[in-house]
Amino acid sequence: MKNKWLSVPYIVWMAIFVVAPLILVLIYAFTSRSGGFTVENFTTMAQYVTVFGRSFFLALIATLVCILLGYPLAYYLAREGAGMRRMATMLIMLPMWMNFLLRTYSWMSILENTGLLNTLFQKIGLFALINSVFGTNIEYFHMINTQGAIVLGMVYNFLPFMVLPIYTVIDKIDYRVIEAAQDLGANTRQVFRKVIFPLSLPGVLSGITMVFVPAVSTFAIPRLLGGGMVTMLGDLIEAQFMGSAYNPYLGSAISLVMMVVVLICMAVMNRFGEGEEGAVVL
């Protein structure tokens, strides 16, 4: 490599902005408020066990929904003609060109009690219908500030990261392998189950990594769509650094534990995809 000097700026960048912060997090996590070594940060963390559980649970749900929505879409796209593909890829990518926060804000105005959706339901007389049938007296559906809203926000924001890797992998499957399976007596369903799905697993694994990891630590979505009613890891950490509870040592410890748990999850997952090349994204 005679041009290795060209990579120096990036290596320096990485050292300053990725490696150094990681080391700082590690040091801070074992430091007490007075500056000495301690593991107290990890013991006090026990009170946040529900937050951990909730974060991983919601991220898991969001990832599953992304697979269920994304896989069929990716499969369908990979089987389509060039024109349709370009169009659909464009439509998938389009929202990503707009800022993430803006998109999430717009979901707020859609889901609010007096937001777009509820207004629409009102206009088409849905509430009147329900009230007359069940004898209730509802004026809106409570959608914003719920865990459902958070999952919705995650799915909306992260779905492209599930669709694209799966699409790429399915698209690369040699059509001759599919024909070979048909030739050997596999009907359409069996071809999918025995050949296409196993061969697309590396894509699914990449997709899971790219959705699950950011979903666990997401912080703007629960803040905006959860309205602070549903605390997740992201909020918790943010509160330690910027907010009222100022305690960067505890914040670092939480970050560290989160990273370790995520790494373990990914390691276990990649074990499933053993031997399938291209699965490892980490």
Angle, CA 186 vertex, CA 184 and CA 271 arms, to 5°: 100
Give the helix ranges, DSSP H, for 1-48: 8-14, 20-29, 40-44
The DSSP 8-state label assigned to residue 257 in this structure reads: H
Taking 3-state DSSP, the helix, strand and coil percentages for the chain, each rounded to the nearest 5, stand at 75, 0, 25
Cβ at position 196, least distance to another protein in Å: 10
Residue with smaller CB distance to another protein, 126 or 186: 186
Cβ at position 78, least distance to another protein in Å: 14
Task: Count the Cβ atoms, other than its own, within 10 Å of residue 203.
Answer: 28
Q: How far is 53 from 274, CA to CA, in rounded Å?
A: 28
Cβ at position 84, least distance to another protein in Å: 15
Cβ at position 279, least distance to another protein in Å: 12
Residue with smaller CB distance to another protein, 198 or 243: 198
Residue with smaller CB distance to another protein, 195 or 210: 195
Residue with smaller CB distance to another protein, 9 or 185: 185
Do residues 170 and 196 make contact, with C-beta atoms less than 8 angstroms apart?
Answer: yes
Terminal Cα distance for the chain, rounded = 25
- Measure Cα distances from 238 to 15, 21, 108 in Å: 24, 16, 21
**Site for another protein, rule CB under 8 A:** 174-177, 179-187, 190, 194-195, 198-199, 275-276
Residue with smaller CB distance to another protein, 184 or 229: 184
Cβ at position 177, least distance to another protein in Å: 5
Residue 115 tokens, joined: 């937001």
